[in-house]
Amino acid sequence: MDQAYSETPETVTPPFWLDILNPTDSEMKILSRTFGIHPLTAEDIMLGESREKIEIFGDYYLIVSSTMQQRIRSQKYMSRVLEPVNLYIVVFKEGVLTFHHSPLAHPANVRRRIRQLREHISVSADWIAYALIDDVTDHFEPLMDATEQEVLIIDNDIIKIFSNASFTWKQKGDMLIRIGECRKRVMALTRLVSSKADVVKSFSKRCQENWDAVPAAEVALYLGDIQDHVVTMTQSLNHYEKLLSRSHSNYLAQINIEMTQVNNDTNEVLGHLTVLGTIVLPMNIVTGLWGMNVKVPGQEIDSLTWFNGIVLGLMVFGILFYLVFSRLLLR
């Protein structure tokens, strides 16, 4: 357990802050008895699967905010696994309890921020809760920037990859994987970010209605900035999804066009082979008949006149039928 508080004038009691990592059942029971935590709150914290929300109890309120931990699966395709992690913030009038089941940098970041701004702000329990939510929201910004760059690169490469003949089929297949991985990341970010706006709105309303202290009213102003940030991220993610959907459709359309061209080329080659087979078949029949034990025209004459005439006739037959079939295929 860690304790952090701000340095305030002696007339103001500094709020306490206990940060608990992966609490056990016995620790949770002791904390529940000590601070009067409701069993439903303790159950949500121990299960670690609650959705993002804010719940108001007797002398405290519970904020559940989802952050994330990244695990890179493939650097080539910018593939990342986003694992959601819940941060539970129990806010009393006198202090804050935070619970999380995985190591998070948010509490340390907020404590550093308090040390830097302690001469310019009035730290209260509401302010600590706000700072934690603000740090969680800012945690998404680097991944949002990387996702935006990847979406724009994919959108540009879709046009280049089919207009440039140097791209191989493997590179074109890799593009489909990139689109799929990017859309998966956008969907995961949308799921994590979309529910934060309601939580921030409810938190702001709570600060305005209860605990009629000046710090709570100031925190409500800060929360408006977070809400604008969350709404902007949600709109950006929706825009990224539309761009990726368009890129995906363009990619499949280009693939269909190329496959149609390949099929047309194949059909043209097969058509010429069919013409060739049709021409050669009668010749094979003629030569096959004369290869049997039958009388060949001109065999009594000691000259190649008949032979040359037959060969010339077969050649004229082949050229004539080739020209006729070529015209029929070009129609």
User: What digits encode the pLDDT tens for the residues 282-304?
Assistant: 777 777 777 777 777 777 777 77
Selected residue with higher pLDDT from 287 and 238: 238
Report pLDDT for 31: 93
Strand 95-100 with 16-21, pairing: parallel
Report pLDDT for 177: 85
Band of pLDDT at residue 6, cut at 50, 70 and 90: very low
8 Å CB contact between 158 and 254: yes
Where do the domains of the chain lie?
A: 2-260, 267-330
Over residues 67-90, the mean pLDDT reads 76
User: What digits encode the pLDDT tens for the residues 132-168?
Assistant: 999 999 999 988 998 899 898 888 888 777 666 656 6
Which range among 36-45, 253-262, 320-329 shows the weakest confidence by mean pLDDT? 320-329
Selected residue with higher pLDDT from 54 and 174: 54
Is the model's pLDDT at 182 over the cut of 60?
A: yes
**Percent above pLDDT 90 for the chain:** 25
Report pLDDT for 51: 82
Band of pLDDT at residue 110, cut at 50, 70 and 90: very high
Which range among 68-72, 74-78, 250-254, 295-299 shows the weakest confidence by mean pLDDT? 74-78
Band of pLDDT at residue 242, cut at 50, 70 and 90: very high
Nearest to 279 by CA among 323, 312, 310, 311: 323
8 Å CB contact between 118 and 1: no
Is the model's pLDDT at 266 over the cut of 90?
A: no
- Which tokens belong to 114? 């308090």
**CA dist list (Å): 48 to 41, 42, 84, 87, 192:** 11, 10, 11, 9, 15
Report pLDDT for 13: 73
Top CATH class, 2-260: alpha beta
Is the model's pLDDT at 265 over the cut of 60?
A: yes
H or E stretch covering 268: helix 214-290
Q: Which residues pair with 2 in a beta bridge?
A: 19
Is the model's pLDDT at 186 over the cut of 50?
A: yes
* Mean pLDDT rounded to a whole number for the chain: 81
For residue 78, report the phi and psi dihedrals to the nearest 5 degrees. 55, 40
User: What digits encode the pLDDT tens for the residues 196-220?
Assistant: 888 888 887 776 665 454 456 677 7
Report pLDDT for 277: 78
Band of pLDDT at residue 3, cut at 50, 70 and 90: very low
